[in-house]
Amino acid sequence: MSSESEATQTPPDMATLLALTATSVVLAKKVLVEPWAGYREPVNIYSATLLDPANRKSAVFADAKRPIELIEQELHDAALQSVAERQSERRQDQLRLNKLEKKTADEKDPEKRVAASEEASTLAKKLATTPEPVMPTLVVEDTTTEKLALLMHENGERLAVLSAEGGIFAAMGGRYSAKGGADDFEMYLKAHAGDSSKVHRISRSPVVLESPALTIGLAIQPEVIRGLAGKSAFRGRGLLGRFIYAYPESWIGKRKIRTVPMPKALELEYQSLIKRLFQIQPRPDGSPNIVRLNDEAANEFEEYCRWIEDELGAGELEMMRDWGGKLAGLTLRIAGLMHCVKHANSDPLSNSIDVETMRNAQHIAKWAIPHAAATFELLSCDIVPECVGDAVHVIRSLTKDSAQIPSTVTRRNIQRHGQSRFNNDATRLDNVLSLLEQANYLRRRSSAEKGGKVTYDVSPRFRAESSNVPIASLSPLSPDSGISRQERSTFKI
């Protein structure tokens, strides 16, 4: 992923999460992970990478998606003739049925009328029980819930929504709904868990899915999440808690101009990997293969689950239990995907998930915690663009000299360094200071210093990240920054 990041000058978080999502697309409904008897998790995931405009999301997204598009094109080419023939046969049957039904209604001879009626009945049953031939589909971008259910039904109850835009949230929120804009989450909730679902359609029979497996991969602007702030059902019903988020630091302003493209050999290796994973087949009866944890990995996962439970009680996950409550399941899904990648050249189905893979999956899951926290903060922020610009200005002034980042700063000093912005506009200064406190960059001291100066403690994240992040932004703390848990807790980062 480092080569993709370097070639596109984008955060490696985005390429990594999108590549992980690509493996989910081709393995969904083929593999279940079983840590111990009675508990199984599918491997389809919902992911969302958040970056502002001009961060080259589309370029990275296209590279991650390309192997899946190539597979889909191969499937189209292979199915084209067969589908065309069966569609023609179906049209002929439909025309024949129309003529028989008309003959049944018009025929005067009783014997001929009965014969036509019986033949029409037989043909009608054939049309009703024979699926309509369609071209295979692996990926869609933006569609109605009704169409999504139909496509999943037509494609073995497996599908992916991959998009560099946030239109899918509008569909979830009922933009296309016959219920007049009502929230339309049910399909997305059940297709993540693999629960049976029935989607009713206007003037048509419902689409019934026994065990759907939907993968979602998005690269969107933070504003898309912020736009959900007034729609409590998105979080209240657990939809947003099903996503793994990446909200990385933007590289804008620090990007190299001329970079080396990703080596062709690496690009082909990635495409070959995705194709090998796609070739893994379900069991002969169509059910997913079961991949189990070995004893050491199972014990490791059990301890990890205890840690999650502690954090849900009074720790990092306490304020986002909707997301944290699904973290163990997400970790298993990641472990299943990583296991299949690790053994792609041999046979992932004949091997158990080992403790190394489980620990790597846990590392990714823990990495995602501050990213999820920062994403959920967007739901409670009501920030105007001017205020964000002011906040970035203040952050730049504090990190200008990475060797001498202050541990405290006064309100007066911030005003002095932003005279053109804040002079004669105390409200504007108060707003940006409030935002920086909400984002946990600053913390106001309870008592004023000598002379009545209002003083703020500066978050340790500046000192930890200043060496490799010269321009900080309103994004989560890097999981590898070295900040202690005590400092994280103090600043709620």
**Mapping DSSP to helix (H, G, I), strand (E, B) and coil, where does residue 32 land?**
strand
Q: With bands split at pLDDT 50, 70 and 90, how would you rate the model's confidence at 386?
A: low
According to DSSP, residue 404 is labeled G
**Under 8 Å between Cβ of 29 and 211:** yes
Share of the chain above pLDDT 70, in %: 88
C-alpha torsion angle, residues 69, 73, 76, 78 (rounded to 10): -130
Query: What residues have CB less than 8 Å from 337, skipping those under 6 apart?
Result: 20, 23, 24, 27, 43, 45
pLDDT at 19 over 90: yes
Q: Which amino acid belongs to residue 90?
A: R
Q: How far is CA 11 from the centre of its chain?
A: 16
According to DSSP, residue 240 is labeled G
Among 417, 427, 423, smallest CA distance to 395 is for 417
> Rounded to an integer, what distance in angstroms lies between the CA atom of residue 263 and that of residue 426?
53
Each residue of 79-120: pLDDT tens digit? 999 889 988 999 999 999 999 999 999 988 999 999 999 999
**Under 8 Å between Cβ of 127 and 94:** yes
Give helix 385-398 / helix 426-438 axis angle, nearest 10°: 70
Note the pTM of the prediction, 2 decimals: 0.76
Q: With bands split at pLDDT 50, 70 and 90, how would you rate the model's confidence at 448?
A: low
> Rounded to an integer, what distance in angstroms lies between the CA atom of residue 410 and that of residue 429?
12
Among 139, 242, 229, smallest CA distance to 185 is for 242
Each residue of 216-267: pLDDT tens digit? 999 999 988 988 877 888 888 899 999 999 999 899 999 999 999 999 999 9
Mean pLDDT for the stretch of residues 268-297: 96
Q: With bands split at pLDDT 50, 70 and 90, how would you rate the model's confidence at 493?
A: very low
